[in-house]
Amino acid sequence: MIRIGQGFDVHQLVEGRKCIIGGIDIPYQKGLLGHSDADVLLHAISDAILGALGQGDIGKHFPDTDPAYLDADSVKLLEHVWEIAKSMGYRLGNIDSTIIAQKPKMAPYIPQMVELIARVLEADPSQVNVKATTTEKLGFTGRGEGVAAQSVVCLQKAAL
């Protein structure tokens, strides 16, 4: 059986925070604001997996009112989501994601993001695609006020 899920997330860019995207700490004068480390890409991917499983979203599994998730490492959150997927008998088919940001430049860091995501999802890097786009200076991403990410995931379950 094949299940498809999609995820979308946005975090504000502010001074005094780290810019962690796809599990990689990207050097930049601003960072992403959130209850956790605000890793917008891993949140979109986590939501896509939970969507494919019909298991709600990361806000349901990791409430932003719970101090346990304050400054949480989103790699750990994705690992937890992947444990749910495995417990339901799924493995990764493929994943495609887009980071929407005017700055910083993502391209140099994308290979490291792909390696990390593939490792967490126990997949080959060829099953994971990460892209980036600006919005040509339009909108909140174009003004550099925030970063958005979207992801589509295909999960496969072995037939019994």
Ligand X SMILES: C[C@@]1(CO)OP(=O)(O)OP(=O)(O)OC[C@H]1O
Ligand Y SMILES: Nc1ccn([C@@H]2O[C@H](COP(=O)(O)O)[C@@H](O)[C@H]2O)c(=O)n1
Q: Rule CB under 6 A: which residues touch ligand Y? A: 101, 105-107, 132-134
Cβ proximity to ligand X, 41 vs 127, nearer residue: 41
Backbone angles phi, psi at 12, to 5 degrees: -75, 145
When the beta carbons of 32 and 95 are compared against ligand X, the nearer one is: 32
Tell me, by CB under 6 A, how many residues bind ligand X. Answer: 13
Fill in the DSSP letter of residue 102: S
CA 159 to chain centre: 28
Residues 33-62 that bind ligand X (CB under 6 A): 34-36, 38, 43, 58-59, 62
Q: Are 3 and 152 in contact (CB under 8 A)?
A: no
Whether the ω angle into residue 104 lies within 30 degrees of 0, i.e. cis, is yes
In the annotated binding site, the residues are: 9-11, 35-36, 43, 57-59, 62-66, 101-107, 133-136, 140, 143
